[in-house]
Amino acid sequence: MKVDNIYSNQSLYNEACKFYTKKSFGQNFLIDVEKLKNIANVLDTDECDLIVEIGCGIGFLTRFLSNDKIPTIAIDIDRRCVNYVNRLRLPLTTAIEANALDFDFNKLSQKRIFVFGNIPYQITTPLIAHLFGEIGKPSKFTVDLKKVIFTIQLEVARRLMAKVSDSEYSALTILANYYAKISLLQDLDARYFYPSPKVKSATVILEPLVEKSVDLSNPDFLRKVIHLGFKQRRKMLKNTLSPLVNNTGQIDEIFKELNIDLSARAQDLSLFQFNQLANRLKLN
């Protein structure tokens, strides 16, 4: 019998109700079978050596990911969840207690990893940075990533997929898009979870880029420029970056030289333009 015929939305709901969830761990379990299948179907077992699930909870997604061809490592910070999943005795599946934010994925000694996770809002950005690295400073795990499939707050998903000048465009947008091609798999209403969160969610797919779109000359300084720019994103960029030059007239000249509007804000610049700007400012 196929796993997707074993479970129903009602059976997952009933099981979730029996587990005492903790807000401190951001535990909101996805309980819709079709939505779980949509996520698991991203997996192509011919393209990876290992499946890693971050925040496995009580194993609802784990049951759809687990198979008899590819090993699955399910990570959770809650020991109760780890014990719960291990008791399920899923094929080639091991749950371990760990904090994903400081977990050394190199310990897995595998290549071509598919990473899945239902990620709490507060750790989304640091987790992406942990997996991929900072701009111009890749993580030691990046080379092993085949795909990363995250269920996250819809607001964060919109930031990841935002375009230049969108209100959601941010430093996170630039970071994620420097390392990966990002696409939306599905929107998820709160009713698909137990307990129901107060926000909507979405599942996004991050596919690591083989080649970066921008060659960086001064990555450390570039990160500083981006940070300053978005620190006060409502202000004009030339004003937020003024501490980097001797006078405002100088920065006006640089903006004109690079054909950047003097009234531009951080959200109006692409990574390519930020890189140009950082290189030019570095000369001063």
Check whether 254 has a pLDDT greater than 70.
yes
Q: What average pLDDT does range 146-155 have in this prediction?
A: 96
Write phi, then psi, for 141 (nearest 5 degrees): -90, -20
Confidence (pLDDT) at 1: 36
List of E strands, 209-268: none
Please say whether the beta carbons of 116 and 53 come within 8 A. Answer: yes
Check whether 109 has a pLDDT greater than 80.
no
One-letter identity of residue 215: D
Q: Measured between alpha carbons, how far apart are the two ends of the chain, in Å?
A: 68
Beta bridge partners of 268: none
| Residue extent(s) of CATH 3.40.50.150 domains in the chain | 3-208
What CA–CA distances, in Å, run from 1 to 5, 6, 61, 155, 164?
Answer: 7, 7, 17, 38, 48
Check whether 264 has a pLDDT greater than 80.
yes
User: What average pLDDT is seen over the chain?
Assistant: 93
Whole-model pTM: value is 0.93
CA distance 137 to 129: 10
256 CB-near residues (< 8 Å, 6+ apart): 262
Architecture of domain 3-208: 3-Layer(aba) Sandwich (3.40)
- Confidence grade of residue 274 (pLDDT, cut at 50, 70, 90): very high
Confidence (pLDDT) at 3: 62
> Residue 192 carries which DSSP code?
G
Structure tokens at 210: 């083989």
Architecture of domain 219-282: Orthogonal Bundle (1.10)
| Residue extent(s) of CATH 1.10.8.100 domains in the chain | 219-282
Please say whether the beta carbons of 43 and 114 come within 8 A. Answer: yes
Check whether 45 has a pLDDT greater than 80.
no
pLDDT, tens digit, 9 for 90 and up, residues 114-145:
999 999 988 999 999 999 999 999 998 888 89
CA distance 59 to 56: 5
